[in-house]
Amino acid sequence: MLDLAPAPRTLTTPARRWRNYYRVYRVLDLGRIGTVFPGVHPGPDAFPSREIAESHAVNFLKLLNPPGRWWMDHVGAFPEGDAPN
């Protein structure tokens, strides 16, 4: 009657490196990165896991953004090769 077949399994390898993406709201000179213009930009470093990448982004933004102002915002951490839309 109803033959229930098992769901097909996809064999994808987990991401090995994660990269943070940031939204920049004004022109900034960020030392080793150089001059960054408004828009969405990837961070310079890649990390072994998403949790490590996101914690690094939170600490970086605490150091960069002065109290009450936002010069950059964290878009998210994406696997190496993927990018936010």
**The pLDDT of residue 1 is above 70:** no
Domain ranges in the chain are 18-79
Cβ distance 50 to 84 under 8 Å? no
pLDDT tier, 7 (very low <50, low <70, confident <90, very high otherwise): confident
Cβ distance 42 to 20 under 8 Å? yes
Condensed to tens digits (0 to 9), the pLDDT of residues 46-71 reads 999 999 999 999 999 999 888 888 89
Q: Is the pTM of this model over 0.85?
A: no
Q: Which of 2-6, 11-15, 60-64 has the highest mean pLDDT?
A: 60-64
pLDDT tier, 78 (very low <50, low <70, confident <90, very high otherwise): very high
SS3 of residue 20 by DSSP? strand
d(Cα 69, Cα 71) in Å, to the nearest integer?
Answer: 7
